[in-house]
Each structure stands twice: as C-alpha cells, then as structure tokens.
Structure 1
Amino acid sequence: MWDWITQNSGALSAVLNAAMLVVWIAYLQLFFVSFRRSNRTVIHIGLAAARDGDGRCLVTNMGSDTAYVLAVKIDLDFGEESRSALVTDRVEDDDPLGGDFREKTNEGPLGGGEALDIGSLRRIVQRAAHRTGEELSLEQCRAVTLTVMVASQQAHRMSGGYKRYEIERGDDGEMRFRPSDVLTRQIRRRSQRRELRDMLNA
C-alpha cells in the first residue's frame, strides 16, 4: 500500500490539489452568491392604515444599502381602457413652494430598512389625473398597479418593484384593495429595466 502511494505520489498530489481547488471555488462561489444576495436591493410596496382608497401606500427598502427612488408609476385599469402616469412629484399647481423637498416629491434616497409614505391611493390617482390632464377617478378603476423605480449599488444599477391591487366593491359601495400577491414582484430582467429607463428618458 505504502509502496503504491510512494510510486504514485505525484498523481495523488495533483488529484488532491485539484480537489482542494474545487472546494475553494465552491466556497468562493457560495460567498459571492451570499454577498450579492445581502447587497441586493429589494423593494416592498404595501398598504397601511386602511384598505380603501384612503389607505397609505408605503414603499420600503428591504435591502441593506441605500437606494435612490427615481420614480413612482401608476397603471390604472378601467377594463377596456388603461392609463399610465408617473406620479413621483407631490407638487400640484396650488401647492406652496419651499419647505422640505420630501414634502414635494417622492424622489430621493431611501436607506436600508426605511419606509416612505408616498400618499394615499386616492391622492396618487389625483396626481395621475393632473399629470395626464384627464378626468381620472379611482371609483371607475378595476385595478391599480404601483411601480417604484430605484437606483441601487451606488447608482450603477436600476431596479425596483411593482404590485397590482384588484379593486373589490362591497354591498355598501366601499372599495377594498386586494393585492394579487402578498409579496412585491421585483424588477430584475434587463428588458424590464430598459423599459423603465426609456420611460424616464421620455
């Protein structure tokens, strides 16, 4: 046995070195995947305080790094028709100037674990109407989709998330917003990011 090991020590050494290399590559791959996952920006969109049109829309940065909110978009589903608008700015024609910039816009940095109140659904639809110049009403909608676009990784990458809310109406006429998914769908694909970039550049 020892004679065989001695005679094949060179080959055994090469095999052991190769095995060690495979182990280190696997370890580095695991470390890299864990590092990317821990530094990945994850956006969560939720409703708080109420489940009707006056519910507050909260955007939370679930990642560890700061993300910069670039824009907020709303898609309104009226059944046979739909409308889309960027509703990032809070400012309307009759709003006063001055004050904290966060009182005028949803754009800006959002630290890891921080949440941003972007307004009620009713108010957001009013901003969409102001933006498009049309008479848009939440009461006429069948569903709304909120999309939040952010710049992450030191503003080198665009990402974000979106959530669709189906509108249900009870016997009392009150609206209830039911999310199509509890979790927020993340924008990861290159085609999705390109579409968002084109929209911001339009």
Structure 2
Amino acid sequence: MIDWLQDHSGGLNVVLNGAMLLVWLAYLHLFLTSFRRANRAVVHIARAVDTDGEARCLVTNMGSDMVYILGIKVDVRAGEERFATLVTDRVHEDDPLGGEMRDRTNQGPLCGGEVLDIGAFRRICERAMEDAAGPVPDSVEITVIVAAQQAKRLMGGYKRFEVRDEGGTIGYRSEDVLTRQITSARRRRHLEQELTA
C-alpha cells in the first residue's frame, strides 16, 4: 500500500489540492452570500392599531444597516380613476412649521429595526386624491423609496392594500403578508425619475 501511495503521490496531490480548493470556494461563497444578506436593505410596510381608515401605516427597516427614506409614493385606484403622489412630507403648505423634523416629514434616516408611523390610511388616501370628495378607493399601493448601502444605491419596497366596505366601515387589507422588495434596475430608475420630477 505504501509503495502504491509513493508511486501515485503526484496524482493524489493534485486530487487532494483540487478538493481543498473546492472546500475553500464553498466557504468563500457562503461568506459572501451571508455578508450580502446581512447588509441588504429590506423595507417592510404594515398596517397596525386597527383595520379601518384610522389604521396606522408603519414602515420598518428590517436590515441591519441604516437607510435614508427619500420618498413615499402612494397610488390610489378608485374605479377608473388613478391618483398618484408623493406623501413624503406630513403637512400641507399652510400648516405651521416647528417642532421636531419627524413631525413635518417622513424623509430621513431609519436605523436597523426602527419603525416609522407615516400616518392613517384614510389620510394618506385623501392626500393622494387631493382631498377630492370622490368615490371610495378600491386599492392603495404604498411604495417606500430609500437610499441604502451608504447612499450608493436606491432601493425600497411596496405593498398593495385592498379597500373594502366591512359592515359600514372602510377596511384596508393586504393579501401579501410580506412587502415586495424593489430589486430590478429598471424599476429603481423609474422611481429615481419620479423623485426628481
């Protein structure tokens, strides 16, 4: 056996070195994958407190790194009509300014695990519909746009809530438990154009 090992040591060396290289490549892949996952920005949008128009819309940074909220876009569909607007700022032009920054705007930094209340669903829809006393919305889609990875990349998430009459009160419910993340470069470019328009 020892003679056979000595005769084939060159070939065995190549095989063992190749196996060791494959193990190190697997470790490197595992390390890079876990590093990217840990440093990826993930935005979650949820409904809290109630199910009617006074239910609060919460935005959570589910990533470990801080993100900067650049804008919050709302798309409301009411029959054949569609209303879309940015509701990043919390106040109208004629409202008094003062107090903390977060009292006036939703824009700003959001640490990992931090939650931001962006307002009541009813008020968010009214702002998108420009306070129009029109039909009750059929659905509202909320998109949160953030700058992530030390403000080198535009990212975000979106969730659609169906608006239903639930025995005399208007309810906001989503069929999705999780928030859909914006990952395509085309969608990120489109959002960037909307923010700069």
Instruction: Give the drift of 1:161.
Output: 0.7
Contact conserved, 2:76 with 2:128, CA < 8 A, in 1? no
Q: Provide, for residues 59-82 of structure 1, a one-character-per-residue CA deviation record: whole Å limited to 9, x for no partner.
A: 000111101001001000112121
Distance in 2 (alpha carbons) for counterparts of 1:149 and 1:114 = 16
Matched, 1:55 2:52: no
Worse-matched range after superposition: 192-201 or 110-119: 192-201
The within-5 A match list for 1:155-166 is 155-166=151-162
**Partner residue in 2 for 1:78:** 78
Q: Provide, for residues 80-128 of structure 1, a one-character-per-residue CA deviation record: whole Å limited to 9, x for no partner.
A: 1211111101121221122211111100000000000101112212332
1:183 partner SS: coil
Give the share of equivalent positions with the same residue, in percent: 54
Structure-2-length-normalised TM-score = 0.95
**Partner residue in 1 for 2:143:** 147
Distance in 1 (alpha carbons) for counterparts of 2:15 and 2:166 = 71
Q: Provide, for residues 132-183 of structure 1, a one-character-per-residue CA deviation record: whole Å limited to 9, x for no partner.
A: xx7265x520010100011111111111111101111123x21111102011
**Partner residue in 1 for 2:176:** 181
Contact conserved, 1:90 with 1:127, CA < 8 A, in 2? no
Structure-1-length-normalised TM-score = 0.92
Contact conserved, 1:89 with 1:105, CA < 8 A, in 2? yes
Distance in 2 (alpha carbons) for counterparts of 1:162 and 1:180 = 13
**Partner residue in 2 for 1:38:** 38
Instruction: Give the drift of 1:192.
Output: 1.4
**Partner residue in 2 for 1:4:** 4
Distance in 2 (alpha carbons) for counterparts of 1:118 and 1:89 = 9
Distance in 1 (alpha carbons) for counterparts of 2:132 and 2:105 = 22
Distance in 2 (alpha carbons) for counterparts of 1:164 and 1:24 = 44
Contact conserved, 2:125 with 2:140, CA < 8 A, in 1? no
Contact conserved, 1:69 with 1:108, CA < 8 A, in 2? yes
Long gaps (5+) in structure 1 = none
Distance in 1 (alpha carbons) for counterparts of 2:194 and 2:133 = 21
**Partner residue in 2 for 1:92:** 92
Long gaps (5+) in structure 2 = none
Displacement over 3 Å in runs of 4+ = none
1:196 paired residue among 186, 191, 194: 191
1:68 partner SS: strand
**Partner residue in 2 for 1:135:** 132
Q: Provide, for residues 22-68 of structure 1, a one-character-per-residue CA deviation record: whole Å limited to 9, x for no partner.
A: 10001110111011111111111111111111111100001111010
